[in-house]
């Protein structure tokens, strides 16, 4: 099932609705990369609230999205990791140290706004 991606100003919001197959994850990567270019997005929120499992493949793929987006000038924040899922990721040994995370969509949007403010003086 494809993940819907909403555009809100300079931010793309990818809201994962159900468990992802590997094919879905790869498609999400491609869709986000394409839309970052098309909409000149500066921020991406990936909402994983609906994911009941984040195994090594999904975690690595989401981390890749963040790295690829950064190369294209957009900052990614991962929101909504469930407490049980966080526990499992740590046990698994999956580190997401280099990926921005926030509790929920609201916090994620606030984080990206802060980042956008930091950017302004240099651009002005």
Say whether residue 85 binds other proteins (CB under 8 A). yes
Q: How far is the CB of 22 from other proteins (least distance, A)?
A: 4
Q: How many C-beta atoms surround the C-beta of residue 120 within 10 A?
A: 8
Residue span binding other proteins (CB under 8 A) among the ranges 5-13, 18-26, 32-40, 98-106 = 18-26
DSSP state letter for 104: S
Residue span binding other proteins (CB under 8 A) among the ranges 29-37, 41-49, 53-61, 64-72 = 53-61
Q: Between the CA atoms of 14, 78, 44 and 17, what dihedral angle is there, to the nearest 10 degrees?
A: 0
* Structure tokens given for 39: 């909409």
Cβ contacts of 40 within 8 Å, gap of 6 or more: 10
Say whether residue 19 binds other proteins (CB under 8 A). yes
Say whether residue 94 binds other proteins (CB under 8 A). yes
Residue numbers of the site for other proteins (CB under 8 A)?
19-23, 52-57, 60, 82-85, 87-89, 91-94
């Amino acid at each position: 099932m494809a993940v819907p991606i909403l555009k809100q100003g300079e931010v793309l919001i990818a809201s994962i609705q159900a468990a992802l197959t590997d094919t879905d994850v790869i498609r999400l990567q491609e869709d986000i990369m394409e839309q970052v270019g098309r909409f000149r997005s500066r921020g991406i929120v990936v909402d994983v609230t609906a994911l009941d499992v984040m195994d090594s493949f999904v975690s690595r793929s989401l981390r890749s999205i963040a790295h690829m987006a950064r190369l294209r000038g957009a900052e990614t924040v991962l929101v909504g990791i469930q407490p049980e899922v966080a526990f499992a990721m740590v046990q698994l040994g999956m580190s997401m140290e280099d990926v921005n995370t926030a509790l929920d969509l609201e916090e994620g949007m606030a984080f990206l706004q802060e980042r956008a403010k930091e950017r302004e003086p240099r651009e002005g």
